[in-house]
Amino acid sequence: MSAVPLRPRPCDPCDPPGCAVLSLPPDIDFCNAAGLLPLIMTAVEHHSAGLRVLVLDLTATRFMDSQGVRLLDEVRRRLPGRARLRVVAAPKGVPSRVLELSGLRRDVPVYDNLAEALRQESGAASGPGSGSAA
């Protein structure tokens, strides 16, 4: 089963309060999507007390199919309370294109890089994916 590493670690000073960042594997498809959901939700439960934003980092993900879209939608629906999902995906990468074609970009903010997504959390950016191809 794939690991979903926490990055940055919650104790690192660069991790904004109320925000968790998870890096997803190089491939998200039929073979691993179902196994990723419990790993992601365990990390969410670990941060549940003050979690406002969950950032899923897809910058290392080279391939994602409809199972990846389903995974992201399921995570979004299962987030507790007022917590929100954000996704980071390389603008010209396969995951970004899949998110666009599936329509999930309408429901989940997609950012070009992690710094942009975290800057948005602190209120310093004006919107998601300012440099992305939409």
pLDDT per residue over 31-71, tens digit each?
999 999 999 999 999 887 889 999 999 999 999 999 999 99
Q: What is the C-alpha to C-alpha distance for residues 56 and 75, in angstroms, rounded to an integer?
A: 10
Domain 19-122 indexed as CATH 3.30.750.24: yes
Give the dihedral sign, CA 11/12/16/19. Answer: negative
On the question of pLDDT at 132 being above 80, the answer is no
What is the token pair recorded at 34?
A: 């179902």
pTM above 0.85, yes or no: no
Residue 88, pLDDT score: 97
pLDDT per residue over 89-111, tens digit each?
999 999 999 999 999 999 999 99
pLDDT per residue over 70-84, tens digit each?
999 999 999 998 899
| Domain boundary assignment for the chain | 19-122
User: Distance of CA 124 to CAs 13, 28, 45, 127, 132, Å?
Assistant: 17, 31, 27, 9, 18
Residue with the larger pLDDT of the pair 9 and 39: 39
CA-derived radius of gyration, the chain: 14
